[in-house]
Amino acid sequence: MKSQRPTFSITTDLAGQKRPAAELFPVFAAAGFAAVHWCQDWTGEPVLYDEAFADETRRLAEDHALRVADVHGYAGSDDAPETRAEDVFQAVNANRARFAARVGADVLVLHLPVPRTTDLAEAVSRATGNVRRLLDACRDLGVRLAVENLCGPVHVPAFFDALIEAFGPDELGFCYDSGHALLSGQGGILGRYADRLLATHLHDNDGTADQHRPPGEGLADWPAILAALKACGYSGTVNLEVRLPAGDDLATFCRQAYETLTSLWPDA
């Protein structure tokens, strides 16, 4: 018996594109994707969304038979002083949670600010504080938080163990980023937090930089990744976080990216 094929998604900014959703959504739909992971404005100068923009985004997605499955939170700007950065992180991500609820998404992925410290205890304290401050707003909206694995100096297994153990499964979930796992040498992190998995960022690289290549174009162990996804019974969207190479045709790239993703589920 064939297994059920998952819902396939793609990040809306193609790892750095600034094109409007009105230009991208029809291309994503034509390529075969059924969902998107909203990833616009996730870093740099903070951008706040109003209700009209959220409603327009939801209508645009529905017009192309797409679902906004989850939303990437705001990571902040490296130029801001650290104390101000955390206040901005809170304000913009509370806004993102409201946006997520209004467009029909139920997960907000947190790309936590990289702390300017090498002290593990301090880094954990800052991270748990940031999560805790956001929890009430997200609960009221029915939006769940998922922390993304990163590859900064303090983002070792002990950091994520402490962060995830500080919250119940109904409070904090996990977003698996395959590129970050490869760069940090944490290939087993998906299995480590499988019971918290709420979202995915799938992409590949050659181990030297976060290149956001399609699966199979780098060194990631895709048979192991797929086995871990299937073993944990993950039923959320399977999302590609790939970069459109300079000069490539958008439609052709998206179509090939979709075909690459579907080929990983040959038995579905």
pLDDT of 14-73, one tens digit each? Answer: 998 889 999 999 999 999 999 999 999 999 899 999 999 999 999 999 999 999 999 999
**pLDDT value, residue 78:** 56
Q: Is 240 exposed, middle or buried (0-12, 13-18, 19+ CB in 10 A)?
A: buried
Do the domain assignments include residue 22?
yes
Residue 86: predicted pLDDT: 84
Which pLDDT value is given to residue 85?
78
Report the pLDDT averaged over residues 154-175.
96
Sheet with 172-177, edge to edge strand ranges: 197-201, 172-177, 144-148, 107-110, 67-72, 35-38, 8-11, 238-240
Looking at residue 4, what is its pLDDT?
A: 76
Strand-pairing partners, residue 37, are 11, 70
Strands 35-38 and 107-110: unpaired
What's the pLDDT band for 76 if we cut at 50, 70, 90? Answer: confident
Asked whether residue 131 is domain-assigned, the answer is: yes
* Percent of the chain clearing pLDDT 90 (strictly above): 84
- Give the global pTM: 0.95
Q: Which domain covers residue 96, as residue numbers? A: 8-263
* Predicted pLDDT of residue 253: 97
Residue 151 falls inside a structural domain: yes
The residue assigned the tokens 């600034």 is 18
pLDDT grade for 74, boundaries at 50, 70 and 90: very high
Across 110-121, average pLDDT = 85
CATH number at residue 211: 3.20.20.150
Residue 194 resides in a domain: yes
Q: How many angstroms separate the CA atoms of 61 and 65, rounded?
A: 6
Site of tokens 């998107």: 36
pLDDT band, residue 77 (cuts 50/70/90): low
Domain tally for the chain?
A: 1
Residue 209 lies in a domain: yes
| pLDDT the model gives residue 200 | 98
Place of tokens 């997605």: 61
* 45 burial type by CB count under 10 A (0-12 exposed, 13-18 middle, 19+ buried): exposed
Residue 56 lies in a domain: yes
Q: Which long-range contacts (CB under 8 A, 24 or more apart) does 15-24 make?
A: 15/203, 15/212, 15/241, 15/242, 15/243, 15/244, 16/243, 17/244, 21/57, 21/60, 21/61, 22/60, 24/250
Q: Is residue 1 part of a domain?
A: no
**What 3-state class would DSSP assign to 22?**
helix
Alpha-carbon distances, residue 103 vs 54, 62, 108, 187 (angstroms):
6, 10, 12, 33
Is 129 part of any domain? yes
